[in-house]
Amino acid sequence: MMHALLPAFVWFSQSWAGIFVQKYSWVFPAVEAIHIVALTVLFGAILFNDLQLLGLVRRDTSTAKLARDLDPWIFSSLILICISGVFLFSSEAMKLYGSKPFQLKIALLVTGLMSAGLAIFTMVILLRFGVLPMVFAIFVSDLPGAVALTTDFSAWYVNSMLTVLVIILAITVWSFRIALGGRKIWKADLLAS
């Protein structure tokens, strides 16, 4: 897998950001300091929000208000982390290419982003369509593992696969229809705002 990414590592190491950080010796420590401070601010804001959820701090403020108050800190620190991370990575891209800890860091980062995406997707399904489609989605995600899927329609098990797919499609259509209660799937003003 890493061999396929070699051109990207080479490109980053030869980019203007990588060359700039390598050219001036003071830039790397300055960017790293910004990176660490932004990580600390992000961690602190998330920790403060979690402590408020547990009722340990700011009991007089609602969780929603505190989250709104901390949003600028969280998002600005995320932006700083991303920008400084690109500069730090660009300056040492070829050194990091063979680094196992860096590969683990990126794997964990991608896993975290995928988990966050799944959580957001789950919330959208729950808030827009209700519990029934969500329960069905969980059921369906486990079902293909129980039945062999194939594109070879001459296989002996193709009938069971097609039966499962038809059942999944039928229950999907039924559950969305029930969950919506006759309402349109997408409101016209949803895309406008």
The structural domain count of the chain equals: 2
Task: Judge whether 163 and 171 are in contact, CB under 8 Å.
Answer: no
CA dihedral 108, 111, 113, 116 (to 10 degrees): -120
Residues 74 and 137 both lie in one domain: no
What angle do the packed helices 63-91 and 16-23 form, to 10 degrees? 80
Domain shared by 52 and 143, yes or no? no
Return the pLDDT at 160: 80
- Domain final residue, candidates 81, 98, 115: 98
Same-domain check for residues 52 and 135: no
Q: Check whether residue 8 and residue 73 sit in a common domain.
A: yes
Is residue 54 a part of any domain in this protein?
A: yes
| Rounded distance between C-alpha atoms, residue 17 and residue 9, angstroms | 13
In this structure, the answer to whether residues 19 and 86 fall within a common structural domain is yes
What pLDDT score was predicted for residue 10? 86
Give φ, ψ of 170 to 5 degrees: -65, -45
| Rounded CA separation 151/162 (Å) | 11
pLDDT of residue 190: 54
- Please give the pLDDT value at position 188: 60
Q: Is 118 among the domain residues?
A: no
pLDDT under 50: residue ranges of the chain: none
Q: What amino acid is encoded at 49 in this protein?
A: N
Say yes or no: 150 and 72 in one domain. Answer: no
pLDDT the model gives residue 180:
73
Domain membership of residue 25 (yes or no) is yes
- Which domain range does residue 150 map to? 130-193
Q: From CA 125, how far away is CA 89, in angstroms rounded?
A: 36
pLDDT at residue 26 in the model? 92
Question: Is the pTM value of this prediction over 0.85?
Answer: no
